[in-house]
């Protein structure tokens, strides 16, 4: 049984509840910006007085709509995101005044060209690597360009003081999220990986950052107390670190299943985890430069080379007392699939820990096979 709070909301419940809140905000004249990625500088959206909303597709329902114009052999996250937009079944896409996207993987950036035919889509040109001064200069100029584009598109002025205020607020949110993630370090962890990944995704449907911070702080305090009262003396189950592609679309099929089969997911080294939270935006610098520096450090596999991901994993293996690593690769995600060889060697040869790689999509076709592979993997850890 997963340790879930009484008022726990599933992803689809939280998504539905957010519709009403968003409609009310729109009626009050609030502008909304749809986003897809951890590279998105949400501070710029907040500084513009607008509301950011995550539009990443985590359901296979809209995929048939996407496959009418996108190749079948494409990442399900891209197909699902596009499918929602093209089938007009996502109220958040409908309510968005503009889309803010980045050139991350090839599939996403080409899909954004098609999305731009439906709604104004600004695509930031992300450098393909971080080394050298050129990368930072070019990403900094993309931040300045974004500031102009967003001012025009949303018809607002964005001042440096607006940006500084947004940076301070987001930094507070990051700290609250990080403290929440770090509950996973406790042994045994009172926080299920299922709850953790759900809360992080559903947070995107709470549009008041102060409210998000307080929800996270309250739940973190509750979990610490729960650990002291009920968990501290319990035996620990095998402790799993999840890595690879975002796992929102395989939450039931993989994340819940791992825990129901007898292990604890204690951390996520992917975009559902502390990847974007653990380093803050420098509040003392010029705001656009500080944003450029921070977001260039995101250690996604679209960056080449990407040693920072292995460094982050090294820290997590130790800090979260990990017993085994499960990597999730979404179908046709070339960058994470190629990087998985390095991850496997790092986990098994350098750290002498078991490693399992699951390549999957959003369908239920491989559920049985995935259960068998997870069960066999957990037997090694028992």
Of the candidates 79, 73, 75, 25, the one whose C-alpha atom is nearest the C-alpha of residue 53 is 25
What secondary structure letter does DSSP report for 233?
A: T
Using CB under 6 A as the binding rule, the residues of this chain from 297 to 326 that contact ligand BJ8 are 298, 300, 302
Residue 53 near residue 35 (C-beta atoms within 8 A): yes
35: contact with ligand BJ8 by CB under 6 A: no
Choice from 105, 183, 213, 254 touching ligand BJ8 (CB under 6 A): 105
CB 302 to ligand BJ8: min, Å: 5
Torsions phi, psi for 115 (to 5 deg): -65, -35
CB 74 to ligand BJ8: min, Å: 8
Residue 318, judged by CB atoms within 10 A of its CB (0-12, 13-18, 19+), counts as exposed
The owner of tokens 């994993």 is: 313
Q: Are strands 355-360 and 324-330 parallel, antiparallel or unpaired?
A: parallel
Torsions phi, psi for 246 (to 5 deg): -60, 140
CA atoms within 13 A on the CB side of 181: 25
The binding track of 77-96 with respect to ligand BJ8, each residue x by CB under 6 A or -, is: xx------------------
| Cα maximum dimension of the chain | 59
Choice from 82, 207, 336, 362 touching ligand BJ8 (CB under 6 A): 336
75: contact with ligand BJ8 by CB under 6 A: yes
The binding track of 107-136 with respect to ligand BJ8, each residue x by CB under 6 A or -, is: xx----------------------------
Stretch that binds ligand BJ8, among 75-83, 128-136, 341-349, 353-361 (CB under 6 A): 75-83
Three-state DSSP at 124 gives: strand
249: contact with ligand BJ8 by CB under 6 A: no
CB 328 to ligand BJ8: min, Å: 9
Residue 352 near residue 324 (C-beta atoms within 8 A): no
CB 104 to ligand BJ8: min, Å: 4
Choice from 333, 347, 356, 374 touching ligand BJ8 (CB under 6 A): 333
Binding residues for ligand BJ8, rule: CB under 6 A, are 37-39, 75, 77-78, 104-105, 107-108, 245-246, 271, 298, 300, 302, 330, 333, 335-336
């Amino acid at each position: 049984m997963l340790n879930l709070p009484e008022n726990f909301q599933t992803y689809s419940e939280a998504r539905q509840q957010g519709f009403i809140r968003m409609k009310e905000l729109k009626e009050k004249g609030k502008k909304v910006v749809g986003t897809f990625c951890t590279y998105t500088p949400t501070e710029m959206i907040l500084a513009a007085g607008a509301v950011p909303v995550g539009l990443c597709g985590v359901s296979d329902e809209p995929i048939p709509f996407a496959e009418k114009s996108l190749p079948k052999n494409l990442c399900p996250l891209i197909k699902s995101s596009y499918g929602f937009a093209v089938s007009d079944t996502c109220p958040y896409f409908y309510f968005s005044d503009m889309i803010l996207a980045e050139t991350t993987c090839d599939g996403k950036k080409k899909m954004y060209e098609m999305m731009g035919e439906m709604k104004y889509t600004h695509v930031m040109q992300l450098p393909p690597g971080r080394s050298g001064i050129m990368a930072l200069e070019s990403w900094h100029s993309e931040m300045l360009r974004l500031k102009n584009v967003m001012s025009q598109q949303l018809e607002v002025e964005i001042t440096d003081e607006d940006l500084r205020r947004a940076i301070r607020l987001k930094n507070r949110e990051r700290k609250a999220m990080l403290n929440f993630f770090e509950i996973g370090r406790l042994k045994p962890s009172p926080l299920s990986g299922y709850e953790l990944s759900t809360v992080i995704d559903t947070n995107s449907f709470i549009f008041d950052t102060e409210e998000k911070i307080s929800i996270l702080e309250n739940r973190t305090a509750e979990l610490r107390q729960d650990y002291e009262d009920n968990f501290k003396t319990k035996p620990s189950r095998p402790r799993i670190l999840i890595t690879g592609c975002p796992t929102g679309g395989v939450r039931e099929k993989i994340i819940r299943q791992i825990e129901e089969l007898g292990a604890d997911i204690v951390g996520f080294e992917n975009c559902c985890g502390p990847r974007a939270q653990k380093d803050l935006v420098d509040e003392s610098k010029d705001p656009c430069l500080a944003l450029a520096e921070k977001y260039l450090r995101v250690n996604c596999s679209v960056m080449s080379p990407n040693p920072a991901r292995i460094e982050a994993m090294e820290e997590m293996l130790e800090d979260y007392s990990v017993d085994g690593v499960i990597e999730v690769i979404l179908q046709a995600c070339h960058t994470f699939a190629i990087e998985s060889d390095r991850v496997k060697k790092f986990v098994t040869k350098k750290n002498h820990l078991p490693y399992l790689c699951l390549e999957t999509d959003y369908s239920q076709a491989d559920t049985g096979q995935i259960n068998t592979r997870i069960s066999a993997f957990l037997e090694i850890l028992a």
